[in-house]
Amino acid sequence: MRWIRLAVFSVALLAAGVAAAQMPPQTVMDFGHSLVMIDLGGGAKHAFSVEVATTPAQHSQGLMYRRELAADAGMLFDFGDPQDVSMWMKNTFIPLDMVFIADDGRIVGITQRAVPQSLAIIASPQPVRAVLEINGGRASSLGIRVGDRVSGAIFGPAR
């Protein structure tokens, strides 16, 4: 009988630990805000109001635990120096497009509609300065492509 109680107690502790790991962080992290502009070619441009993640803690949290994201909002992950970047969707509840941006503001890769809560690694195609996360499907609907240019925030004045 004692073994059964111990087993039940162990399972309860494990379940509580798993539930706690899936809970949102207790402190709401502050992010800076900025505007980024994507030059879509042919004179077309599109602006996004973004939160800017610059610290390792901000990079870790990103858009985790969010239930919605405005159509023209996003998060810009600034890694400072160009580097190979790997992202995932753990604890992220909305599908996202990930736009990989080189140091000069040129888009070098796009992952569309990353699957919510997936642990699959999404890697940059080359070293990048930043990743812009926007609503899933938004890059396609706006015609954002590899080779387009990003300005504003960390990439100089929005043009």
Closest to 116 in 3D by CA, of 87, 134, 91, 141: 91
pTM confidence score: 0.82
Tokens standing for 110?
A: 């796009």
Closest to 154 in 3D by CA, of 75, 64, 58, 86: 75
Question: Residue 151: which pLDDT band, with cuts at 50, 70 and 90?
Answer: very high
Tokens standing for 29?
A: 């992290």
Write down the pLDDT at residue 26: 46
31-86 pLDDT, tens digit each: 999 999 999 988 899 999 999 999 999 999 999 999 999 999 999 999 999 999 99
CATH no. of 29-155: 2.60.120.1140
